[in-house]
Chains A and B, each alone.
Chain A
Amino acid sequence: MPLHKLTIATAMAATLALGACNEKGGNTAPKSEAAKEAAGDSTIAAGLGDATKFAAAAKSTGLDATLAGPGPYTVLVPTDAAFDKLPAGALDTLMKDEGRQELTGILTYHILPGAVLAEDINKAIEAGKGKALLATMAGGTLTATKEGDAIVISDGAGTKAKILGGDEKRSNGVIHRIDAVMMPS
């Protein structure tokens, strides 16, 4: 875009934005404070801990804002070791501009609506005679089963992930750590 057009358009946008403020009585303070308050202080985003690769992927896709928002969500967080099971360079590629949309779909496959504790999954597996479907934000479902005492989550292609450490309650949901990355299909 030629520079002068960019300048004009930017000025227009600024004017319109200003107009919006005036429309609302000139209040230019951030309006999403309600969302921050609802999310609380100890959010999922703040509780990712040593899951550095998942945290980096969330930041790359802008989903860090989701995980710091009101939710509530249940997040299956693959450990760094889980990401290391992917082919060499795969995550790096997904985090480039060209892979970002793809990565967004993968991460949202790990996010479930509401707050689901391990106990809730166990009950659903029991009621479902050995398995339970879990709705994800991405649209597809995951399948939960038991292997001994452990809860195992499977993606559409049959890749299995074990819940390693579950029930990390956060102010906007809950984190369960898993040992494999789920891939949508």
Chain B
Amino acid sequence: MLKWMLAAGAAALAISAPVAAQKGHGGGKEHGQEMKGQKGGGQKANRGNRGGGNDGAMRGPQRSEKQKFVQRDDHRGQGQIKQADRGKGNAKVNLGRPGHAMGRDDRDVRVVRLDRHDDGVRFVPRFNDRAMGLIEGCPPGLAKKGNGCMPPGLAKKVVGTPLTAALGLSALSGPYRSWYRDNDDFMYRWDDDYIYRVRRDGGLIDALFPYANRDYYYYPMGMSYPLDYNYYNVPYQYQSFYPDGGDYWYRYGDGAIYRVNPSTGLISGISALLTGNSFAVGQPLPAGYGMYNVPFGYRDRYYDTPDAWYRYNDGYIYRVDPTTQLVTAVINALV
């Protein structure tokens, strides 16, 4: 077992058992919960998002068949950080990552802890020697957020089965509605945990992948992209930048588009980051977008006035009413 104590004054460091992670911020990456709420609360009005932007010819998934690759057993460490109290002075601060406390046994969880003291931050990684990779049966980085986790292997069985009636009515909302667009060949549906791609011809589930998007949580480079979810799932607006069929495969997961080596299945880089923040016509501007952030090439066309703000997010420029702080239109798709 590896145990590292890099911080000086180990005695001063409070040892904290892994605890249930807490969300630290309101405006975050963890949109699965938000989406679930929206689903229940009739937020499908978000379909306003579909009207604008680059709603030209929809591209179908580039490959309908599941792609397979070598899955190595070299699961890399999943730094697990727990968040607990935060205070001043000598009060310790355990900086955490939400969504990591999914293991049924805390001993399964690696903990890296940053303790904040008057004299600075003390970094305290703690590891155990348990094999990493699956947390409660969920692949790291794509673990489920809802009612437990689909057991390993079950995802394979879901693919090829007919779409249920309930799922058939469950159209996407929030950012996912514009990321995964129904077209002539495919449609996308979701439940609390997964987005399902359904082939219209035959009505069978053709692919699925989790859409959890947790704060500060990413696949580490060097680990395998989960075989069960190895389908081309790059959000619509980025497909022209990151298509399949070239030197790399590109896969979405937890707020990032990963570059995957086709011959090994290992993640070799992070090609792009997405906030996953929900910008939908008629909905409030998310927190953290008070500042103008339109890319330089578009600033001469879209600049803030007393009547209209413009904000960029995940490939699109939106217009916002400065008074009501509501998103009023999808103005432009940059990709």
Residues of chain A having any CB pair with chain B under 8 Å: 1, 6, 9-10, 12-14, 16-17, 20-21, 23-24, 27-32, 34-35, 38, 60-66, 69-74, 85-90, 93-94, 96-106, 108-109, 111-116, 120-121, 123-124, 127-128, 132-141, 144, 156-157, 159, 169, 173, 183-185
Instruction: Tell me, yes or no, whether B282 is within 8 Å of chain A by CB.
Output: no
Q: Are A124 and B263 in contact (CB under 8 A)?
A: no
CA distance A35 to B315 in the complex (A): 13
> In the assembled complex, which residues on chain A have CB atoms less than 8 Å from the CB atom of B242?
32, 35
List 10 A-B pairs, Cβ < 8 Å.
Answer: A17-B263, A30-B247, A66-B272, A69-B272, A87-B120, A102-B79, A104-B218, A120-B291, A157-B95, A185-B93
Nearest-neighbor residue (CB-CB) of A90 within chain B: B123
Q: Which of these, A16, A20, A62, A102, contacts B112 with CB under 8 Å?
A: A102
Q: Are A123 and B291 in contact (CB under 8 A)?
A: yes
Nearest-neighbor residue (CB-CB) of A103 within chain B: B79
Nearest-neighbor residue (CB-CB) of A72 within chain B: B295
Q: Are A139 and B241 in contact (CB under 8 A)?
A: no
Q: Which of B78, B112, B290 has the most CB of A within 10 A?
A: B290
CA distance A76 to B76 in the complex (A): 28
> In the assembled complex, which residues on chain A have CB atoms less than 8 Å from the CB atom of B245?
20-21, 23-24, 27, 31
Q: Are B294 and A128 in contact (CB under 8 A)?
A: no
Q: Are B125 and A98 in contact (CB under 8 A)?
A: yes
> In the assembled complex, which residues on chain A have CB atoms less than 8 Å from the CB atom of B8?
87-88
Residues of chain B having any CB pair with chain A under 8 Å: 2, 4, 6-8, 24-30, 62-63, 67-73, 76-79, 81, 83, 86, 93, 95-97, 110, 112, 114, 116, 120-123, 125, 127, 140, 213-222, 240-248, 255-256, 258-259, 262-263, 265, 267-275, 277, 286-296, 311-314, 335
> In the assembled complex, which residues on chain A have CB atoms less than 8 Å from the CB atom of B286?
135
> In the assembled complex, which residues on chain A have CB atoms less than 8 Å from the CB atom of B219?
101
Q: Are B6 and A90 in contact (CB under 8 A)?
A: yes
> In the assembled complex, which residues on chain A have CB atoms less than 8 Å from the CB atom of B6?
87-90, 93
CA distance A1 to B74 in the complex (A): 10
CA distance A24 to B62 in the complex (A): 9
Nearest-neighbor residue (CB-CB) of A74 within chain B: B293
Q: Are A31 and B311 in contact (CB under 8 A)?
A: no
> In the assembled complex, which residues on chain A have CB atoms less than 8 Å from the CB atom of B83?
185
Nearest-neighbor residue (CB-CB) of B304 within chain A: A123
Q: Are A120 and B292 in contact (CB under 8 A)?
A: yes
Q: Are B293 and A120 in contact (CB under 8 A)?
A: yes
Q: Are A141 and B287 in contact (CB under 8 A)?
A: yes
CA distance A70 to B312 in the complex (A): 14
Q: Are B216 and A135 in contact (CB under 8 A)?
A: no
**Known contacts A65-B269, A183-B95, A115 near B294 by CB under 8 Å:** yes
Q: Are B114 and A133 in contact (CB under 8 A)?
A: no
> In the assembled complex, which residues on chain A have CB atoms less than 8 Å from the CB atom of B296?
72, 115, 169
Nearest-neighbor residue (CB-CB) of B30 within chain A: A139
Q: Are B255 and A34 in contact (CB under 8 A)?
A: no
